[in-house]
Amino acid sequence: MEARIEQTGERKEFSFSGSVAAMLNVLGVTASTVLVVRNGELLTSDDPVGDDDTVDVLSVVSGG
């Protein structure tokens, strides 16, 4: 799957299947500081994501 990390501008490609919470763990991202979006839809921590998915990891904190 592919994760686009807004805060760093990185694109990470990796093999994964599991919950959003587990994916954020793999990515080393603090869950409370981000929202995860797939095809414009907001995901919750228990939503499953897998290898066919591209997700955006949006940073909650930004200036202003």
Q: Residue 15 or residue 43: which is nearer to other proteins going by CB?
A: 43
Which residue from 1, 16, 37, 38 is in contact with other proteins, where contact means CB under 8 A? 37
Cα Rg, the chain, nearest whole Å? 11
Residue 17 or 60: the one with the smaller Cβ distance to other proteins is 60
Interacting residue with other proteins among 15, 39, 52, 63 (CB under 8 A) = 63
Burial-class residue 56 by CB neighbours within 10 Å (0-12, 13-18, 19+): middle
Can you tell me the distance from the alpha carbon of 34 to that of 37, in angstroms, rounded to the nearest whole number? 10
Residues of this chain that interact with other proteins (CB under 8 A) are 6-7, 30-33, 35, 37, 40-42, 44-47, 58-64
